[in-house]
Amino acid sequence: MENEIDLDVDNKEIIIEDLMNMYSKDVYLLAYSFVKDQGLAEDISQEVFVKCYRNIEKFRRDASIKTWVYRITVNTCKDFSRKKSFRVLKYSKLFLEDFKKSESSEEIFLKQNQNAQILHKVLSLPKNIVR
C-alpha cells in the first residue's frame, strides 16, 4: 500500500494529500496514545502533516515514508508534552475535578498533593519509543 505514494511527483500537495489519506488515522491514534486527549491529538495530527509538507524534500528514503511520518508524530508529541501549557492543563483538570465534588478544603488539598506526586512520577518515566 505504501508503494502507492509517488514521492517523485513535483507537486508537494499531491504527496501530502496521499500521506494524509493513508496515515491520518494512524497518526491520530499514535498521538492520542501519547497525550490521552482527543483535541490535543487532533492538533498534533494537523501539525504532523504541516511538518511533512514543509520537510518532504528532506526525506532521505533511509526508512519507509510511514516510519518517517511516525517519527515526526512521536517527536511532535514529545514537543507538545514538554510545553508548560500541557502540564498546566493537566493540573487544572485535576483541580477542577476535585472542586466539583464539593469536598472539604483538606480533602481537596490532600488529593491534589497525591495527584501531583503521581503525575510527577509518571512524567519522570521514560517514554516508549515506537519502532
Query: Which amino acid belongs to residue 91?
Result: Y
In this structure, are 15 and 52 located in the same domain? yes
In terms of residue numbers, what domain contains 10? 2-82
Neighbours of 86 (CB within 10 A): 14
Helix (H, G, I), strand (E, B) or coil at 19: helix
Same domain flag for 72 and 25: yes
d(CA 49, CA 130): 18
Both 91 and 30 in a single domain?
Answer: no
Residue labelled with grid coordinates 497525550? 35
Grid cell 488539598 — which residue? Answer: 109
Spatial contact of 32 and 3, defined as CB atoms under 8 Å apart:
no
Q: How many domains does the chain have?
A: 2
Is residue 73 located within the same domain as residue 42? yes
Taking the whole predicted model, whether its pTM rises above 0.85 is answered as no
> How many degrees, rounded to 5, is the angle at CA 94 between CA 90 and CA 98?
165
* Mean pLDDT, each 10-residue run in order, the chain (131 residues): 57 86 94 89 93 87 88 92 65 60 71 81 71 53
**68 in the same domain as 91:** no
